[in-house]
């Protein structure tokens, strides 16, 4: 059974971009028998697909899986995750497959693969009889790999008439009850809970997979690391100063205005890392509700609307942003096949107008940051941004690529230098990253006792659970609250213990 599946699951773990996959934060596992790369597709927006190369050529089933109608809109990181998982399984089966030739052992290969991921294959003396030399990975990574293998195996079972790596079996009463309880809790949180079919859910809970990851320890979901609130103003004021130009008077000469604006959008507007890179030049205007402040709207990069003038019929037309970009030989950045121009889209909670437009509106906190941003925007447009036909607000300023869309990688380099200049390491644990700036926004809203429903709207979360994590106290806050509570209690003298 496993050999049939292995023939169809020839996949790879190599060529994964740093910081773009589940394995990125862990010691990489070197592949042995395969290599993967991105292959460009002949599409209007120049997308690509992940392909696997083994000694037998390209894995056709993996390619078919990625190009299946239900998967064509999936992201590049989604493809990399599957490629990575299947590549590891390919190596494991190539090295250890001879142990599973017997019928009784065929169903053990996936569970042994999962155990090798969780525990590693390297012995205490440095040897490795498997020849894989895998370090152990986290539970979340191993669990994700097993689930991906299970999904692809089911696809092969449905379309290629192969046996399943992880077939269904009958659940005992305890497992069935636990699965139904998990469904019931998620259904209560769902906006569509009124259509939940409890009988169907109970029937589904009666089946379990043969291979399931062991239960991991329960952890306290503490709030994510955030940029220190008392350092944010210093970051904007001192972090983006152009070296050697601190004596200049003009703002556009003294500061990296573009990168300062993006940092403000994140730290004072709560935007995700990629969202500012979808802004068009005219997506920013003076807020009629607050003169002198910026009104910023991030439109859906492909479905959002754009008003453009047609010189042929001399009329204004409203078309989708994807249509507008295509007419200029461009494509939405979340569909770009170029990893340098790619900017993701996390499907945030959007406003939908009657015209069919979709957008999110930046909510400044404190509100005076909107005035700061408006001043920087006017300076950037008039004095910094080079003449270009590109509709994107943030563009490259110098070199051969001047006028082309600004790259997220370049912004992160500038941000890291700015963060260092105020005495913070630019790492996730300190909140000194672009994600830390967004978390800073959520944290200052929480500390200001803003209602959770308002925070959810301001951060454009679809689920209240995504917002709830910002309200969880950390260990220091718990300690302060308990000490304050103790100070209000009557002092109780403990009796002297006998024999003490």
Answer whether 82's CB lies under 8 Å from 148's CB: yes
Tell me, yes or no, whether 498 lies in a domain: no
- Higher pLDDT pick, 100 / 367: 367
**Same-domain pairing of 233 and 151:** no
More confident residue, 408 or 102: 408
* Statement to judge: residues 29 and 77 lie in one domain: yes
Q: Could you list the residue range(s) of the whole structural domain that residue 247 is in?
A: 229-471
Q: What is the mean pLDDT of residues 105-118?
A: 81
Identify the pLDDT of residue 160: 76
Q: Which residues contact 56 (CB under 8 A, 6 or more apart)?
A: 10
Q: pLDDT tens digits for 122-154?
A: 888 889 898 898 998 888 888 899 889 888 888
Q: Higher pLDDT residue, 148 or 14?
A: 148
Q: How far apart are CA 82 and CA 147, in angstroms?
A: 10
* Closest to 10 (Cα-Cα) out of 113, 81, 85, 68: 85
pLDDT recorded at residue 137: 87
Share of the chain above pLDDT 90, in %: 36
Tell me: do 451 and 330 sit in the same domain.
yes
Same domain, 117 and 193: no
Where does 160-283 have alpha helices with state H? 173-189, 198-204, 229-238, 251-254, 257-267
140 and 179 housed in the same domain: no
How many C-beta atoms surround the C-beta of residue 175 within 10 A? Answer: 15
Residue finishing a domain among 209, 238, 267:
209
Most confident of 18-22, 130-134, 245-249: 130-134
Domain for residue 220, yes or no?
no
373 pLDDT more than 50: yes
Position 216 scores a pLDDT of 61
Average of per-residue pLDDT values in the chain: 81
Same domain, 81 and 184: no
Quick one: 191 and 259 in the same domain? no
- Is residue 307, in this structure, part of any structural domain at all? yes
Task: Let me know if residue 494 belongs to a domain.
Answer: no
Task: Please give the tally of structural domains in the chain.
Answer: 3
- CA–CA gap between residue 73 and residue 334 (Å, rounded): 10
* 49-53, 163-167, 256-260, 376-380: least confidently modelled range: 163-167
Question: Dmax of the chain from CA atoms?
Answer: 101
304 and 357 in contact (C-beta within 8 Å)?
A: yes
261 with 291, same domain: the answer is yes
Q: Are residues 128 and 197 in the same domain?
A: no
The DSSP secondary-structure symbol of 299 reads E
pLDDT, tens digit (0-9, with 9 covering 90-100), for 159-172: 877 777 777 665 56
Measured CA to CA, the distance from residue 240 to residue 94 in angstroms comes to: 52
Q: Measured in whole angstroms, how far is the alpha carbon of residue 94 from the centre of its chain? A: 32
Q: What is the pLDDT of residues 55-77, one digit of tens each?
A: 888 888 888 888 888 888 788 88
**Listed ranges 9-23, 38-52, 63-77, 102-116; the one with the highest mean pLDDT:** 63-77
Can you tell me the distance from the alpha carbon of 3 to that of 100, in angstroms, rounded to the nearest whole number?
Answer: 9
CB atoms closer than 10 angstroms to residue 121: 21
pLDDT at 248: 62
Strand-pair category, 35-40 with 48-54: antiparallel
Asked if the structure places residue 477 within a domain, the reply is no
Asked whether the predicted pLDDT for residue 410 surpasses 70, the reply is: yes
Domain boundary among 178, 209, 240: 209
Q: Residues 337, 350: one domain?
A: yes
Judged against a pLDDT cut of 80, whether residue 330 lies above it is answered with yes
pLDDT tens sequence across 456-500: 999 999 888 788 887 777 777 777 778 877 776 666 565 555 554
Q: Are residues 180 and 161 in the same domain?
A: no
- Mean pLDDT across 402-425: 95
Q: What is the pLDDT of residue 70?
A: 85
DSSP state of 218: P
pLDDT at 39: 82
What band does 25 get if pLDDT is binned at 50, 70 and 90? Answer: very low
Residue, of 197 and 225, whose pLDDT is higher: 225
Residue 486, domain member (yes or no) = no
Residues facing residue 309 across a β-bridge: 316
CATH number of the domain that residue 314 is part of: 1.10.443.10
The answer, yes or no, to whether residue 20 has pLDDT greater than 50, is no
Residue 287 covered by a domain: yes
pLDDT at residue number 401: 86
Q: Is residue 491 part of a domain?
A: no
| Rounded Cα–Cα distance for residues 392 and 276 (Å) | 10
* In a shared domain, residues 322 and 466: yes
Q: What is the pLDDT of residue 197?
A: 67
**3-state DSSP assignment of residue 291:** coil
Question: Is 257:376 a contact under the CB 8 Å cutoff?
Answer: yes
């Amino acid at each position: 059974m496993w050999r049939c599946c292995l023939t169809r699951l020839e996949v790879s773990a190599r060529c994964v971009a740093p910081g773009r996959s589940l394995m990125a934060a862990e010691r990489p596992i070197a592949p042995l028998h395969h290599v993967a790369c991105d292959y460009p597709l002949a599409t209007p927006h120049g997308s690509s697909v992940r392909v696997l190369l083994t000694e037998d050529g390209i894995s056709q089933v993996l390619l078919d899986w990625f190009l299946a109608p239900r998967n064509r809109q999936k992201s590049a990181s989604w493809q990399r995750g599957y490629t990575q998982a299947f590549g590891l399984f390919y190596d494991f089966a190539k090295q250890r497959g001879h142990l599973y030739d017997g019928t009784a052992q065929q169903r053990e290969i996936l569970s042994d693969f999962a155990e090798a991921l969780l525990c590693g294959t390297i012995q205490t003396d440095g040897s490795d009889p498997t020849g894989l030399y895998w370090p152990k990975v986290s539970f979340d990574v191993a669990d994700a790999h097993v689930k991906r293998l299970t999904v692809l195996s089911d696809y092969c079972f449905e379309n290629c008439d192969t046996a399943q790596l992880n077939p269904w079996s009958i659940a005992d009463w305890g497992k069935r009850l636990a699965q139904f309880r998990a469904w019931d809790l998620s259904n209560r949180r769902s906006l569509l809970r009124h259509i939940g079919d409890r009988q169907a859910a109970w029937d589904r809970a009666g089946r379990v997979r043969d291979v399931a990851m062991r239960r991991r320890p329960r952890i306290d979901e503490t709030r994510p690391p955030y940029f220190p609130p008392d350092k944010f103003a210093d970051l904007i004021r001192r972090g983006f100063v152009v070296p050697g130009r601190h004596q200049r008077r003009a703002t556009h000469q003294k500061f990296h205005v573009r990168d300062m604006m993006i940092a403000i959008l994140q730290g004072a507007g709560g935007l995700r890392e990629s969202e500012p890179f979808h802004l068009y030049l005219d997506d920013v205007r003076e807020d009629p509700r607050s003169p002198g402040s910026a009104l910023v709207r991030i439109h859906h990069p492909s479905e959002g609307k754009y008003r453009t003038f047609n010189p042929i019929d001399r009329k204004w037309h409203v078309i989708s942003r994807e249509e507008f970009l295509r007419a200029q030989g461009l494509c939405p950045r979340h569909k770009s096949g170029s990893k340098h121009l790619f900017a993701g889209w996390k499907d945030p909670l959007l406003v939908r107008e009657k015209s069919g437009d979709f957008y999110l509106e930046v909510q400044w906190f404190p509100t005076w940051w909107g005035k700061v941003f408006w001043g920087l925007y006017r300076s950037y447009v008039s004095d910094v941004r080079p003449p270009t036909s590109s509709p994107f607000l943030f563009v490259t300023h110098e070199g051969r690529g001047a006028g082309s869309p600004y790259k997220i990688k370049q912004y992160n380099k500038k941000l890291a230098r700015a963060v260092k200049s105020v005495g913070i390491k630019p790492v996730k644990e300190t909140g000194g990253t672009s994600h830390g700036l967004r978390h800073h926004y959520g944290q200052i809203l929480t500390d200001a006792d803003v209602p959770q429903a308002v925070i959810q709207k301001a951060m454009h979360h679809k689920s209240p659970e995504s917002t709830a994590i910002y309200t969880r106290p950390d260990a220091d806050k718990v300690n302060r609250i308990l000490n304050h509570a103790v100070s209000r209690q009557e002092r109780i003298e403990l009796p002297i213990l006998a024999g003490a």
